[in-house]
Structure 1
Amino acid sequence: MQALDEKNVPAYLRRLVVSYFTDRVLKYDTKNGPKEYDVTGGVPQGSVLGPLLWNIMYDGLLRLNLPRCVKLVAYADDVAAVIVAKHLDEIQHLFDITFKQINQWMDSVNLQLAKQKTEAVLITSRKKIETITLKVGDQEITSQPHIRYLGVKLDARLNFKQQVEHVCTKASAVRASLARLMPNVGGPKQSRRLLLSSVVTSVLTYGISIWADALETQDSWRKAGPIYRMSALRVASAFRTVSEEAVIEERQKSIARWQRQWDAAEKGRWTHYLIPRIDVWLNRSHGEVNFYLTQMLSGHGCFREYLHRFKHDNSPECPSCPGVIENAKHVFFECPRFYPQRDQLENVLQQSIQPETIVEAMLSSKASWNAISTFATEVLIDLRSIERKRASDNN
């Protein structure tokens, strides 16, 4: 409550929070019947307000007046104190000041520091890796060659060799377990294999934006590469003797076969008009479709042509453009009702939008994709609103 006061939260919201904390009871069923438990601390999993209140309270820790060479980095209830200094005695002095202030703040909010979980690592470029012993309350901790912080191994050289070894060991175990679910004969179909193998990819690439440079060494690549390769072979239902290049070639053949079917198909012609080349779409580096973008790309949505086909509207024509069919092309690229949205999008993209170039613009950058996605959303929300008003007026 003190943190809320300090942030000048309105009184009525503070009273709401007080009510939230007052007389909280957890009711649950057991074999012996229903039970109750008075909740005096903790946050139920899935709570929305709980993490927010924690952040408001914990913000006080991050605003401590610490020495200039000390910075606190926090995630949930994990805190890292980053101390920059040239000599061990400086680090010792700065740490003592930092720990004292953190401990005092913890006491002021009735929290306890988990001293037994506190770890330290000296990050240095010196040839000789030194160690330091720090006093944390009544315990002493000695710096280690590497520590684990938020699932990533941080080592003294920041070369992340231990991280590569850790994820490779873990991913290898996961791959072996999943392999038993994906026999080459009689196993799940390829789409499910791909879904299962994505678990291996997730384990291998956890936090990779931090340690990706470690894979530039041959040693690290030799450890990670075979694990990913074996996972890919399971997706392709291939023997382990098949090379990575052959698996890639097989994928290219599949895409080529899909392209031929795509070109010859009678259905989905609007989508084919927008996305004539499947490989370009599949290999895009960014962008996800949503409810509105899918309607623009498929032509299936709140368009009178589509609604009329299923007898949900009495005419396929645009109410503002007599004699013109209201389909996706007309709504997004021609209809004067949505000129303001088109004009705004063209100003953002710095180019005119046409069916032939809209997907090319989407794939050009993440910003362009997001702008076109927003455009599709705004147009379809407005179109839906217009249709509802028209239906209401007709009734």
Structure 2
Amino acid sequence: MNCIQLNMNRSQTVHDCLYCLARKLDTHILIVSEPNKKHIRKGGWYVDELESAAIKILSRDIKVLSWGSELGFIWVQTSLCYVFGCYISPNVSFNDFENYLYRLRDSLRGRGGAAVVAGDFNAKAYAWGSHTEDARGSALADLIGELNMVVINRGEKPTFQRGESASFIDVTFSSSNMAGSVVGWEVLDAEVCSDHLPISFKIDVAKRLPNPPFPRGGWKWDEDKRDGLADCLHRRLLGSDLLMAEDLTEAIGKACDESLLRKKGNYAGRRPVYWWTPEVKASWKASTESKRKLMRANRNRAVREQQQDLLEKLKEMHRTARKELRRQIRRAKAKAWESLVESVDQDPWGRAYQIATRKMRIDVLPTEGEVARAVQKLFSVRPEIRWAIPEVETPRAFTTEELRTATQRLRSGKAAGPDGIPAEVVRLAVEVSAGTVLRVMNDSLAGRKFPERWKRARLVLIPKDGRDSEGNLKLRPICLLDCLGKLLEQLLRARLLEELEERGGFSEHQYGFREGRSTLDAMEEAIKFAHFACSVFWGRKDLCALTTVNVENAFNTAPWDKIVDALTGRNISPGLTAMVMSYLEGRRLIVGDDQEIAVTCGVPQGSVLGPILWNVMYDAVLRLDLPVGARTLAFADDLALLTTARTEDELMRLTNEALSEIARWMVNAELKLATVKTESVLLVGYRRPGAIQLSIGDEVIRPQKSIRYLGVYLDQQMSFTPHIQQTVARTERTIAMLGRLMPNLGGPASGTRKLLNSVATSILLYGSEVWVDGLRFQQNKKLLVAVQRRSLLKVISGYRTVSAEAAQVIAGVPPIILLAEERASLRRGTDRRVARSRIMARWQREWEEAENGKWTRALIPDVETWANRGHGTVNFYLTQALSGHGCFGSFLFRIGKSDSDACWYCGEKDDPKHTLFYCVRWEEERLKVMKARAQWPVLDNFTDLLLQGPDEWEAVKRMARNILRKKEADERRLEEERQVERWR
């Protein structure tokens, strides 16, 4: 393991230089002191509690077994040894320093095993090359001796250099049994813009780690190599007598080897920095060279004593070179980001979008211990079931048509399973040799045996934000299955659904994993139930409660025998039931690269059949004989109990009876209720019910003011205000992230900006078909309009003073309120064109009656014509012209940036109308439009010119840009002159 040790001086530039050096030296581990706090908070670092010491693992070949931290130091356990990173400030008292060493000693002893410790201790001792020894150095040296550890420092070069001052304060030491394995320790002269010098060393091990039994890998799909791969598949599959899944997988794998590139398995994460340029390289080289010259001069006593002028010259050269390096790095990073932003037009969802929304953030990977805990928690261990597969009538064979339909359902671009074969390759194999693939599938069906090879899945654990109640990292499991196995699952799924439909299908109250049904259907049903209860039907209003019931780790704990019992109870054909038995038993899960565990319950996550099997088993809970006034809804495993009654006592009794019935079913189904996560809300409008207390098992449930159900917050008054508040807050965060891609000057065109803005709009409008009734409250409307306005200002590159009404019109985006109502109208079955026509008519009426945006309305009176134009994008300057908010005397005077609203050139009142159409200073710009399009721009034809066509649009846009850009330059010049006058 190649390591670099460095004090970062809290500098972002040092981080930048260190990454360049790490890539050059093929480094695996960074051990740093005083890192830049803002940088490490982005993720990917193991950090101590004071954020003063940090470790970064750059290679995924290094397995982190565990890690921990205390004040001032951090440790990471790898498969080879413990690595400690340390920092202690020079400003702490000696007593605090001793206490720090005691804690470090206890931690080293508590860990046991081999360890390497590296850090800035701000301690001087002869043991690591210092010419003097202080009390701190003596105490640290005593600790190293007490622990029977060995100092690795060579002591030939100082580790800290500031001017003529040099010291040996960065120390590396290791366990005595590791001393021979820490080799190549060296203080480097490379420029990293820090007063400390980088230290490199290698942790070498005599024994080579064995190759993992389950290596990652597979093939990269390349559309350009499709024809070559098709030829290879044709040669290996067509006319072959393959019958076994193993043989088919091997044959396709060999064809992939001949045509496609293999993915790297555990790749090292040492990517080149995105901003590296030849100019940065030259500056880094020059700064490193000047640093070396200065260090050599400082080490030369004769130069220090007799050639002070030379020494000062070298210092100045190094200061200049380092300053230039910092400048080049800043410039390169800014230019690289600008280039990324400009690329958004070509690839809106590409690298720039991923960086802005932090989708490319590399978090610290879970340790082996965290993985083990997660696996133990997620995958329950039950006695392994091995059914005696009954001898039954052979099911009818799959047809070519069924195979082709199943193949079309395989999704492209998804991660492959353990065999590494992408879905695109499987589709091509069916296209080339459907007969061979079909023969293998039918052989499995005839033998009523799902191939063992296709029962293996690779577990991937994705870190989530935060930690659970026990302090463990939250991890989301994803199981990757072979695509060939998924193809067989698709065939079985179609047969199973066909038989289920013939035998009555699923409960009407199950909305999850069913085509044509969504979360909206479930939410609408719940709201409809509540409205009915609260209406004056039968001459009275009832109370209504919604209680969400949570099943703990539902999909991973579903008992297999209960699934098979449910299939048998639905009279599914014995042959198909036998295939499901074979499909479930003997499943294996690959954890990491070297571990395989047995799976003994649960529906396989990431599978095709899993959701159907869950619904089959869970269907019974939706058919329970509940008391009158109670009913259940389910979306997958999310179960909601709806109850209604006349009084509080009746509602409590009814709800508790229904919950008890559900709890009994869960016990019989061997599913565990997460009672602490059970929540309830009374949907009663503005009535004030008395105290209500519900219970499930031993858990007492007190209704809350609002709960989250399927992504929408339902509150007691059914005002949806809590939901809109939460959604607006989330949208604001998204706008802030996407704003980096949409600067006022430069960046993508407004069309691409509208596309990016659709992300924020989608977040805002999620579930609007359900919460649209909440728009009767002005508070909710104001929240939605305000956040839409902020997002549209980025689309049109407008000043923050532009009103919501004007921003909506200039962007050509209808008001968010109308968009929400349009969605609700479409949900009710209104034709899309009719719904759009209605909201455009309403938008026009509202625009004509609006108090804001008078100048914009004078230019753009017809919103539909403007919004539906087929050409033209706005930019920073055209938006100023259309909004009236920009470099105009009247606007600058209104916001207090000018002492007068008079025109700087002719003395008239300088409003947008004057600047664009009357000021003699800009006659030449208007003449250019006249020459290009044979029309003189005036107020009455300004918008008509824009709408005539792309050429006219560009001519007017160019006029606005030239006028306002020159006015801005004049404004800056006048402001500078005023500043000079003030100083006089």
TM-score band by shorter chain is 0.5 to 0.7
Q: What secondary structure, in the 3-state scheme, does the structure 2 residue paired with 1:48 have?
A: coil
What is the Cα deviation at residue 211 of structure 1?
A: 0.7
Q: Which residue matches 2:583?
A: 20
Q: Distance in 2 between matches of 1:251 and 1:182?
A: 14
What is the Cα deviation at residue 174 of structure 1?
A: 1.4
Q: Distance in 2 between matches of 1:79 and 1:13?
A: 28
Q: Which residue matches 1:218?
A: 778
Q: What secondary structure, in the 3-state scheme, does the structure 1 residue paired with 2:682 have?
A: coil
Tell me if structure 1 keeps the 8 A contact 2:587–2:600: yes
Tell me if structure 2 keeps the 8 A contact 1:121–1:156: yes
Question: How big is each residue's C-alpha offset from its partner over 1:170-216, in whole Å with a ceiling of 9 and x where there is no partner?
Answer: 11121112112221223233343223211111111111111112123
What is the Cα deviation at residue 122 of structure 1?
A: 1.6
Question: What is the TM-score with the length of structure 2 in the denominator?
Answer: 0.25
Q: Does 1:185 align with 2:745?
A: yes
Q: Which residue matches 2:668?
A: 108
What is the Cα deviation at residue 125 of structure 1?
A: 3.9
Q: Which residue matches 2:659?
A: 99
Gap change, CA 1:90 and 1:61, over 3 Å in 2: same
Q: Distance in 1 between matches of 2:618 and 2:663?
A: 13
Question: What is the TM-score with the length of structure 1 in the denominator?
Answer: 0.60
Gap change, CA 1:127 and 1:88, over 3 Å in 2: closer
Tell me if structure 2 keeps the 8 A contact 1:131–1:144: no
Tell me if structure 2 keeps the 8 A contact 1:122–1:131: no
Q: Distance in 2 between matches of 1:12 and 1:284?
A: 54
What is the Cα deviation at residue 22 of structure 1?
A: 0.8
1:142 to 682, 685, 702: 702
Q: Distance in 2 between matches of 1:250 and 1:223?
A: 21
Tell me if structure 1 keeps the 8 A contact 2:713–2:722: yes
What is the Cα deviation at residue 248 of structure 1?
A: 4.4
Q: Which residue matches 1:48?
A: 608
Q: Does 1:170 align with 2:733?
A: no
Q: Which residue matches 1:67?
A: 627
Q: What secondary structure, in the 3-state scheme, does the structure 1 residue paired with 2:774 have?
A: helix
Q: Distance in 2 between matches of 1:214 and 1:175?
A: 23
Q: Distance in 1 between matches of 2:719 and 2:651?
A: 22
Tell me if structure 1 keeps the 8 A contact 2:660–2:696: no
Q: Which residue matches 1:277?
A: none
Structure 2 unaligned spans of 5+: 1-563, 813-832, 839-984
Q: Does 1:3 align with 2:563?
A: no
Q: Distance in 2 between matches of 1:179 and 1:101?
A: 51
Q: Larger helix proportion, structure 1 or 2?
A: 1
Superposed, 1:335-374 pairs within 5 Å as: none
| Residue identity opposite 1:145 in structure 2 | K
Tell me if structure 2 keeps the 8 A contact 1:129–1:156: no
| Residue identity opposite 1:35 in structure 2 | Q
Q: What secondary structure, in the 3-state scheme, does the structure 2 residue paired with 1:51 have?
A: helix
Q: Which runs of 4+ in 1 moved over 6 A?
A: none
Percent identical: 41
Gap change, CA 1:133 and 1:251, over 3 Å in 2: closer
What is the Cα deviation at residue 100 of structure 1?
A: 1.8
| Residue identity opposite 2:635 in structure 1 | Y
Q: Which residue matches 2:802?
A: 242
Give the superposed CA RMSD: 2.4
Q: What secondary structure, in the 3-state scheme, does the structure 2 residue paired with 1:180 have?
A: helix
Superposed, 1:295-310 pairs within 5 Å as: none
What is the Cα deviation at residue 222 of structure 1?
A: 1.0
Number of aligned residue pairs: give it.
256
| Residue identity opposite 2:570 in structure 1 | K
| Residue identity opposite 1:141 in structure 2 | I
| Residue identity opposite 1:21 in structure 2 | L
Q: What secondary structure, in the 3-state scheme, does the structure 1 residue paired with 2:632 have?
A: strand
Tell me if structure 2 keeps the 8 A contact 1:153–1:162: yes
Q: Which residue matches 1:160?
A: 720
Q: Distance in 2 between matches of 1:189 and 1:6?
A: 60
Q: What secondary structure, in the 3-state scheme, does the structure 2 residue paired with 1:84 have?
A: strand
Q: What secondary structure, in the 3-state scheme, does the structure 1 residue paired with 2:707 have?
A: strand
Q: Distance in 2 between matches of 1:174 and 1:158?
A: 26
What is the Cα deviation at residue 82 of structure 1?
A: 0.5
What is the Cα deviation at residue 251 of structure 1?
A: 4.9
Q: Distance in 1 between matches of 2:808 and 2:697?
A: 57
Gap change, CA 1:82 and 1:224, over 3 Å in 2: same
What is the Cα deviation at residue 221 of structure 1?
A: 1.0
Question: How big is each residue's C-alpha offset from its partner over 1:271-294, in whole Å with a ceiling of 9 and x where there is no partner?
Answer: xxxxxxxxx89x679xxxxxxxxx
Tell me if structure 1 keeps the 8 A contact 2:708–2:714: yes
What is the Cα deviation at residue 28 of structure 1?
A: 4.9
| Residue identity opposite 2:581 in structure 1 | V
Q: Which residue matches 1:39?
A: 599
Report the structure number with the largest CA radius of gyration. 2
| Residue identity opposite 2:801 in structure 1 | T
Q: What secondary structure, in the 3-state scheme, does the structure 2 residue paired with 1:121 have?
A: strand
Q: Does 1:85 align with 2:645?
A: yes
| Residue identity opposite 1:101 in structure 2 | E
Tell me if structure 2 keeps the 8 A contact 1:3–1:56: yes
What is the Cα deviation at residue 235 of structure 1?
A: 1.6
Tell me if structure 1 keeps the 8 A contact 2:774–2:780: yes
Q: Which residue matches 1:299?
A: none
